Amino acid sequence: KLVSREFKQEDTVVDVSGILIGGNHLAVMAGPCAVESRDQLLQSAFIVKEAGAQFLRGGAYKPRTSPYAFQGLEEDGLKMLAEAREKTGLKIVTEVVDAESVPVVSAYADMLQIGSRNMQNFQLLKTVGKTNKPVLLKRGLSATINEWLNAAEYIMSEGNYNVVLCERGIRTYEEYTRNTLDLSAVAAVKDISHLPIIVDPSHGTGRWKLVRPMARAGIAAGADGLMVEVHPNPAEALSDGKQSLTPENFELMMQEVKIIAKVM
């Protein structure tokens, strides 16, 4: 298989508009769960840039559990992301939720995010596989490591080898945390695949207090980077405020993980 260490021994390094993910580079993608407004997004962008992130995250198309919850600003949101890139130099990673919107999201983003709920949307995987955009493939809520790597294989088999995996927690019987962050998957993926892997401690725990410790643990486990939700005012976030870091806590997290990354 194309994803396997047998196929390729050396670690893959994915180049996203000049920023490298994999190898000895610590990649940090941070920003709000959703793009809510121009002000909210630009504020978030300056905050995460200042703290040392290289990527701005933020959903313009939101796969919400309830159809009555905020669904995202769609193309207007993508335009705000592009403006934030212009103003900060941050690279943009944002979710694409269906095959039809791959062209419009690709026109604005540096990296296409495939969300957990879409990890086995094989049509979407094949469609992004036919582009040359780097892809961030989040682990399905109930996907085994093998199913996840097969999803990556779908993208690579179409010719797009620029795939980065993201462990974001899986469903277990535990309810205190939103998901159970499976850090053993990081070590396992490193063993059996050459693809870079990052950790999302925000969706992985659902609680902001657990995000810094799990970010540190993710890097210590060998992850190539992090995806973290940060909001200028988490209490007022339209989605995932409970798991979003304040600017101050994100700054602390960055200082901590840089130290750990240096000794890894």
Kindly list the residues in this chain that would bind ligand PEP in the complex (CB under 6 A): 33, 59, 63, 95, 115-116, 138, 168, 203
**Which of Mn ion, ligand PEP, none interacts with 77 (beta carbon under 5 to 8 A by kind)?**
none
Q: What values do phi and psi take at 235, rounded to 5?
A: -65, -25
Tell me whether residue 1 is exposed, middle or buried, using C-beta atoms within 10 angstroms of its C-beta: 0 to 12, 13 to 18, 19 or more.
Answer: middle
Whole-number Å distance between alpha carbons of 85 and 49 = 10
Tokens of 63: 């796969």
Instruction: Tell which positions 231-250 bind Mn ion, by CB under 5 A.
Output: 240
**Which of ligand PEP, Mn ion, none interacts with 138 (beta carbon under 5 to 8 A by kind)?**
ligand PEP
C-beta nearest to Mn ion: residue: 33
String of contacts with Mn ion for each residue 10-39, x by CB under 5 A = -----------------------x------
Q: From the CB of 5, what's the least distance to ligand PEP, in Å? A: 25
Q: Pick between residue 52 and residue 241 the one whose CB is nearest to Mn ion.
A: 241
Whole-number Å distance between alpha carbons of 206 and 171 = 12
Q: From the CB of 231, what's the least distance to ligand PEP, in Å? A: 12
Whole-number Å distance between alpha carbons of 25 and 261 = 9
Alpha carbon distances (Å) from 80 to 43, 59, 72, 229, 231: 12, 11, 12, 17, 16
Q: Pick between residue 2 and residue 82 the one whose CB is nearest to ligand PEP.
A: 82
